[in-house]
Amino acid sequence: MALTKADREFMSRGERRKVLDQKRRQALAVDRAERAEPTPETAAKLIPDPLGVMLSMKLIDDETLKASQEMADVFRAVYGGQMPGARGAGGHPTISDAMAWIHANRYLPWSRKWSGIKLRAMPLQPAVIDLVVGGGQPLALTEIAAALADYARIRRERPLPPADKLAVEGG
């Protein structure tokens, strides 16, 4: 990119800048075939959020999106110590009364129902959890949307009681 001393003496500042800019552009031009593949980390960032995609396709609504976020929060709170990459020795974490109530009265009934429903010889419930907790790619959008809508229905039918009445029912 450097100009020789003779070139610099006979060129105006504007001409030198043009030559250097042109050389810089040539050095930066890369043929698409020569480009390297993105790293796994970069590739993961390029994948769109599956719940956002489902929302934009109108497969789920805002209420279902909130319900899926609650489902992810409950799953992480109750089973987080057992997830890959979790710190500590695992075991049973201490969770709030509200989270315990939501787990017992919303998540577990939903989980029992949907773990018995198969999708391509695999229970649908783990696919839904993988999607809402880990951002995994959905295999069947309409089936997962139906499972999420069912959780949203349970959430609507079973509102969180006041804090003084949060004794865990059922289970």
pLDDT tens-digit profile, the chain (171 residues): 566 666 666 667 778 788 777 777 766 666 667 777 888 888 777 777 888 888 999 999 999 999 999 999 999 888 876 555 545 545 555 788 899 999 999 999 999 998 888 877 677 888 888 888 877 766 678 888 999 999 999 999 999 888 877 765 554
Contact 127, 148 (CB under 8 A): no
How many Å apart are CA 68 and CA 49, to the nearest integer? Answer: 13
Decide if 171 is inside a domain: no
How many Å apart are CA 105 and CA 170, to the nearest integer? Answer: 7
How many structural domains does the chain have? Answer: 2
Same domain membership, residue 83 and residue 24? no
Task: For residue 24, give its domain range.
Answer: 5-34
pLDDT value of residue 89: 47
pLDDT value of residue 127: 82
How many Å apart are CA 120 and CA 115, to the nearest integer? Answer: 13
Decide if 154 is inside a domain: yes
Same domain membership, residue 151 and residue 125? yes
Element (H, E) at 118: strand 118-119
DSSP three-state, residue 72:
helix
Q: CA dist 166 to 67, 104, 107, 169, Å?
A: 19, 11, 15, 9
DSSP three-state, residue 29:
coil
Q: Which two tokens stand for residue 146?
A: 């139906």
Decide if 170 is inside a domain: no
pLDDT value of residue 9: 66
How many Å apart are CA 169 and CA 171, to the nearest integer? Answer: 6
